[in-house]
A and B are shown apart, each in its own frame.
Chain A
Amino acid sequence: MQVELTVNGVLRSDEVEPRLLLVHYLREVCGLRAANIGCDTTSCGACTVLLDGESVKSCTVLAAQAAGQDVVTAEGLAGDGELHPVQQAFRNEHGLQCGFCTPGMVMAAVGLLRENPNPTEDEVREGLEGNLCRCTGYHNIIRAVLAAANGAAEPATAQAEVTA
């Protein structure tokens, strides 16, 4: 079947099998590898992307179900060489350890902050309950999301000066 959808701002039309999962479509058809396949059972959130602005687990959505909709992956967040504030905050606060859960965490955090721009720490923890970090690096992830919400994410240039 033919599906038309927008991926990271680009309108696409692709011939897919009805059973093709969105995460496989993104990784194998679009060549976008940020959304990771972790548990493959709607639990870990490593495959989280935005569908019409809302976080979803792309291992449990058919590409066919996304037809006519707008998909954003972590590759689509940064613009003009500048990291998205959530990405910048994850970098500043070291909101990662091995990095496998990071694209999903970032997308879930972007979705969370769209719905609740000023969350409390508890709301961040609950808002990310659909994302697992097997390194258990939650502390800095929560800090990063709170920093992004507070607009405290320093741009990359400022950090470069500090480390220079």
Chain B
Amino acid sequence: MIPAQFEYVAAGSAAHAIDLLGQHGDDAKVLAGGHSLLPMMKLRLAAPAVLIDITRASGLAGISLDGDEIVVGATTRHADLASSDLVRTEAPLLAHAASLVGDPQIRHRGTIGGSLAHADPAADLPMALLVLGGSVEVSGPSGTRRVPADAFFTGFFETALADGELLTAVRVPRQPGVPWGYQKFVRRANDWAIVGASAINGRIALANMGSTPLRASAAEQALAGGASPAEAAELAAEGTSPGEDIHADREFRGHLARVLTKRALEHLS
């Protein structure tokens, strides 16, 4: 499978990439690791006229601390996130989620910014950002803004990124030593979650239980009200309307959400 023709431009910086996005508008797509975009282009589900490669842009990769938060540059690869001592100490759930994306080859290429901007509701990192209460930094022609995870995922493969904006960094609260749970149900190696559930600090997030990663709000409220993990988990699928596919119908996804949430709450790391 061969993508449709396009023009390739390597951006030297975030500002250069935003400038190029402004020039080319809807015809352009941002390319980082390419492990979501290139498969879609090969299937001709996407056919951008211009690819703006940001993997060589200065200042977009790397992991650092900023006060109470870890800051992860948008082009930081899953492999680097998973093996980072800083992330493993300060936000171990994030490192664990990164270690479960795809397979080693995919983790050598895929980036956190790409995964979040792609916004696959079945993916690991969107759910991880949501449960951790993180946010993304977004830059565009009119400046930089921060979007909390709760407001970033707006629909099926849709985000709050406006035209001409570039996701430049990801911020996650430092939570060293805070117990967390992460459950991902798959039938095949290197696959997306049929359903995923994760929990930390009274927050519970689900993957593939709707058009975006979701908070299990009813279960969170029950926990806050003193319910046991088992009792709270019974409410995990409340208010969700997951899709159906060859792997699971709606009822089975609901069952998985309850079981995985119970495990995420009980089997804490």
Contacts and interface: CB of A to CB of B under 8 A. Distances in A.
Interface stretch (A5-13, A60-68, A140-148): A60-68
B188 to A, nearest CB: 9
Nearest to B38: A60
Nearest to B102: A130
Interface stretch (A36-44, A73-81, A84-92, A94-102): A36-44
A131 to B, nearest CB: 8
B210 interface: no
Contacts of B108: 51, 54-56
Interface string B1-35: 11111111000000000000000000000010011
A41 B45 CA distance: 13
Contacts of A60: 34-35, 38-39, 109
A1 interface: yes
Given A42-B106, A130-B190, A21 B2 contact: yes
B231 interface: no
Interface string B51-84: 1010100000000000000000000000100000
A153 B51 CA distance: 45
Residue in A41, A43, A51 whose Cβ sees the most chain B Cβ within 10 Å: A43
Interface residues of B, number: 28
A5 to B, nearest CB: 14
A62 B34 contact: yes
Contact of A108 (B38, B51, B105): B105
Contacts of B39: 41-42, 60
Residue in A48, A108, A130 whose Cβ sees the most chain B Cβ within 10 Å: A130
B109 A1 contact: no
Contact of B103 (A17, A51, A64, A129): A129
B35 A43 contact: no
A64 B8 contact: yes
Nearest to A3: B8
A60 B38 CA distance: 6
Nearest to B103: A130
B189 interface: yes
A48 B105 contact: yes
B42 interface: yes
Residue in A17, A65, A111 whose Cβ sees the most chain B Cβ within 10 Å: A65
A129 B5 contact: no
Contacts of A131: 103
B5 A55 contact: no
A56 B105 contact: yes
Contacts of A48: 105
A18 B106 CA distance: 21
List the 3 shortest-distance A-B pairs measured between CB atoms, nearest first.
A130-B103, A18-B8, A129-B189
Interface of A: 1, 17-19, 21, 24, 40-43, 45, 48, 51, 54-57, 60-62, 64-65, 108, 111-112, 127, 129-131
11 contacts: A19-B2, A19-B6, A45-B105, A54-B79, A55-B104, A57-B105, A57-B106, A57-B109, A65-B34, A108-B104, A129-B189
Given A54-B108, A60-B38, A64-B53, 14 more contacts: A40-B42, A41-B39, A42-B106, A54-B79, A55-B108, A56-B108, A56-B109, A60-B34, A60-B109, A65-B31, A111-B104, A129-B104, A130-B106, A131-B103
